[in-house]
C-alpha cells in the first residue's frame, strides 16, 4: 500500500484576480506538504497532471513547477490522459513508490480551463480530445458525443431526463456546503428542464462548468512517512483501462466498458470481491449528469443501480454516497486537477476532516475515485482505504 501523507487544494472557480496556474499549483503543493509534515527536501519525485498545453501555454510544465516548488534536482514528469489526467498522475506516483524508485512523491494537477481562453475556443479544443479527424475537425462537440452515449444508455436502462436532472440538482446542492466549489446552486428539477438545451438530452444545467484550480497529494512509502502520519489513508488499489475512441465502433455506445475494466483491476489489487457491498463512498466523473449513472453502472456499485438511485441509495444519507464534493458539476472541473481533487475528498472523508456539512458521520472505510478522458475512453480508478487498525 501507499500512504496519502498530505492533501492540498485550491478553490475551483473562474479566476479574475490576475493569478495563474503556477500560483494555484504552488498553493496546493504547499498545503499538502504542510499536511504531510515533511520538508520539500524530502520529496524524491514530482508528477504533474495537465490536459492541454493550449490552456496553460506552457510546454513541459513539470520542470517549471519543480523549479517553482523549490524541488530542483528531483525526478519530474507530466501525466496526461484527457479528463483522467489527475488520476493517471496519481497512478504514476504510486508506481514510483511501489517500484522502489521513489519514497515520497508529490502529485500536483492544475488546469486554467476557464480564464485563459474563450468558452468557444475551449469547446473546440475539447473536441480534439476525442478523434480529432472524425470528431473534432468535423465540428462535433464533447456535449454532442456524451449526449449520444447518454441516449443509448437511456434506451437500454430506462433512465429519464428527470433522473439526470435529479443528479444536476443534488450535486449543486452538495456544492453549497463545499467552500471550494465553483458552482454551488440551489436549483430545482424545473430549473434544469428549463435551462437552454445544449444537446438532447443535456441542458446547460446538466453540464459541468469550465474551472480554474489545482490540487495536490503527497504520497509516501509507509516507512518513509513521519510517525504521526503513518495512520493516514492509503491507496490500496489502482486500475486503468480503455475503450474504442469512436462511439460507433463500440458494442454498446451507452456502456462504459473501459471503466469496468479499470475498476476490475483496481478492485483486484485492493482485494475487493464485492464492490456493491464493500465500498462506502464514491467520487465519480460527472462531466454530464447522465455520466454519473453510467459510471455507477460500470463500476459495479449496485446490483440494481437505477432502482437504488431512485430510492436515494447514493445520497449523503444513503447506503453509498456518490459525489458529496458536488462532483464536476458542483465542485468544478479544472481537468488536470479533477482526479486529484477526487482523491482529496476520499482521503479527507476517510480521515474525518472533510467539510463539516458533508463529512459522513461514520467515516468511510473504503472509498473510490473514478475519472475518464473522452467518453470513458481512457479510464482510471483508485481505491482508498483507512489505515490498518
pLDDT in tens, 2-27: 999 999 999 999 998 999 999 999 99
Distance CA 177, CA 211 (A): 18
pLDDT of residue 180: 98
pLDDT of residue 213: 98
| pLDDT tens digits along 320-330 | 999 999 999 99
- Rg for the chain, CA atoms, rounded: 19
State the greatest distance between any 2 C-alpha atoms of the chain, in Å, as a whole number. Answer: 56
User: Which residue(s) pair with 237 in the sheet?
Assistant: 383
Q: Does 140 have pLDDT greater than 90?
A: no
Q: Does 389 have pLDDT greater than 70?
A: no
User: Which residue(s) pair with 55 in the sheet?
Assistant: none
CB-CB contact of 245 with 119 (8 Å): no
Q: Does 354 have pLDDT greater than 70?
A: yes
Nearest to 27 by CA among 6, 51, 9: 9
* Cell numbers found for residue 121: 475556443
Taking each helix axis as running N to C, give the angle between helix 119-127 and helix 142-157, from 0 to 180 degrees, rounded to the nearest 10. 60
How many residues would you count in the chain? 389
Nearest to 111 by CA among 25, 181, 29: 25
Distance CA 168, CA 205 (A): 7
> Within 10 A of 237 (CB to CB), how many other CB atoms are there?
23
Handedness of CA 94, 95, 96, 97 (dihedral sign): positive
**What residues contact 237, with CB distance under 8 A and at least 6 apart?**
265, 266, 267, 268, 269, 270, 271, 272, 382, 383
| pLDDT tens digits along 41-100 | 999 999 999 998 888 889 999 999 999 999 999 999 999 999 999 999 999 999 999 999
pLDDT of residue 130: 85
Percent of the chain at pLDDT above 70? 100
Q: Does 274 have pLDDT greater than 70?
A: yes
Distance CA 263, CA 83 (A): 16
Distance CA 375, CA 377 (A): 5
Is residue 157 very low, low, confident or very high in pLDDT (cuts 50, 70, 90)? very high
pLDDT of residue 123: 81
Q: 3-state DSSP call for residue 260?
A: helix
Half-sphere exposure of 38 (CA within 13 A, CB side): 27
Supply angle C-alpha 135, 196, 130, rounded to 5.
15
How would you label 311-346 residue by residue, b for 16+ Cβ within 10 Å and e otherwise? eebbbbeebbbbbbbbbbbbbbbbbbbbbbbbbbbb
141 exposed, middle or buried (CB, 10 Å; 0-12, 13-18, 19+)?
Answer: middle
Distance CA 259, CA 253 (A): 13
Is residue 132 very low, low, confident or very high in pLDDT (cuts 50, 70, 90)? confident
* Cell numbers found for residue 125: 479544443
pTM of the model: 0.97
189 exposed, middle or buried (CB, 10 Å; 0-12, 13-18, 19+)?
Answer: middle
Supply angle C-alpha 275, 278, 283, rounded to 5.
70
> Within 10 A of 223 (CB to CB), how many other CB atoms are there?
8
* Cell numbers found for residue 202: 443535456
Is residue 139 very low, low, confident or very high in pLDDT (cuts 50, 70, 90)? confident
pLDDT of residue 49: 98
The CATH architecture assigned to 2-117+210-229 reads: 3-Layer(aba) Sandwich (3.40)
* Cell numbers found for residue 345: 475528498
Is residue 307 very low, low, confident or very high in pLDDT (cuts 50, 70, 90)? very high
| pLDDT tens digits along 216-264 | 999 999 998 888 888 899 999 999 999 999 999 999 999 999 999 999 9
> Within 10 A of 173 (CB to CB), how many other CB atoms are there?
17
Supply angle C-alpha 363, 367, 371, rounded to 5.
140
| pLDDT tens digits along 109-130 | 999 998 888 878 888 888 888 8
* Cell numbers found for residue 285: 466523473
Amino acid at each position: 500500500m501507499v500512504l496519502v501523507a498530505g492533501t492540498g487544494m485550491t478553490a475551483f472557480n473562474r479566476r479574475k484576480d490576475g493569478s495563474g496556474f503556477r500560483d494555484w499549483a504552488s498553493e496546493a503543493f504547499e498545503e499538502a506538504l504542510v499536511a504531510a509534515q515533511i520538508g520539500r527536501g524530502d520529496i524524491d519525485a514530482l508528477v504533474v497532471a495537465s490536459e492541454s498545453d493550449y490552456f496553460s501555454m506552457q510546454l513541459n510544465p513539470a520542470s517549471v513547477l519543480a523549479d517553482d516548488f523549490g524541488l530542483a534536482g528531483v525526478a519530474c514528469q507530466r501525466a496526461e490522459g484527457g479528463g483522467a489526467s489527475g488520476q493517471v498522475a496519481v497512478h504514476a506516483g504510486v508506481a514510483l513508490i511501489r517500484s522502489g524508485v521513489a519514497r515520497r512523491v508529490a502529485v500536483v494537477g492544475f488546469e486554467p480551463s476557464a480564464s485563459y481562453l474563450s468558452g468557444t475556443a475551449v469547446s473546440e479544443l475539447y473536441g480534439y480530445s476525442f478523434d480529432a479527424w472524425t470528431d473534432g475537425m468535423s465540428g462535433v462537440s464533447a456535449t454532442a458525443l456524451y449526449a449520444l452515449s447518454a441516449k443509448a444508455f437511456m434506451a437500454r436502462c430506462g433512465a429519464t431526463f428527470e433522473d439526470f436532472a435529479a443528479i444536476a440538482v443534488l450535486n449543486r446542492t452538495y456544492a453549497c456546503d463545499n467552500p471550494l466549489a465553483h458552482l454551488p446552486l440551489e436549483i430545482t428539477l424545473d430549473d434544469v428542464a428549463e435551462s437552454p438545451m445544449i444537446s438532447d438530452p443535456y441542458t446547460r444545467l446538466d453540464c459541468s462548468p469550465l474551472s480554474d484550480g489545482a490540487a495536490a497529494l503527497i504520497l509516501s512509502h509507509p516507512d518513509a512517512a513521519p510517525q504521526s502520519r503513518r495512520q493516514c489513508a492509503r491507496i490500496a488499489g489502482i486500475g486503468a483501462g480503455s475503450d474504442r475512441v469512436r462511439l460507433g465502433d463500440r458494442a454498446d455506445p451507452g456502456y462504459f466498458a473501459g471503466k469496468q475494466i479499470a475498476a476490475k483491476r483496481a478492485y483486484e489489487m485492493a482485494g475487493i470481491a464485492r464492490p456493491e457491498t464493500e465500498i462506502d463512498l464514491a467520487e465519480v466523473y460527472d462531466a454530464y449528469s447522465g455520466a454519473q449513472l453510467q459510471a455507477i453502472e460500470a463500476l459495479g456499485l449496485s446490483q440494481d443501480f437505477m432502482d437504488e438511485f431512485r430510492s436515494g441509495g447514493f445520497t449523503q444519507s444513503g447506503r453509498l454516497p456518490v459525489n458529496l464534493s458536488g462532483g464536476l458539476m458542483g465542485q468544478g472541473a479544472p481537468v488536470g486537477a479533477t482526479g486529484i481533487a477526487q482523491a482529496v475528498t476520499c482521503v479527507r472523508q476517510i480521515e474525518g476532516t472533510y467539510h463539516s456539512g458533508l463529512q459522513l458521520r461514520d467515516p468511510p472505510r473504503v472509498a473510490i475515485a473514478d475519472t475518464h478522458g473522452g467518453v470513458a475512453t481512457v479510464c482510471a480508478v483508485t481505491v482508498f482505504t483507512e489505515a490498518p487498525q
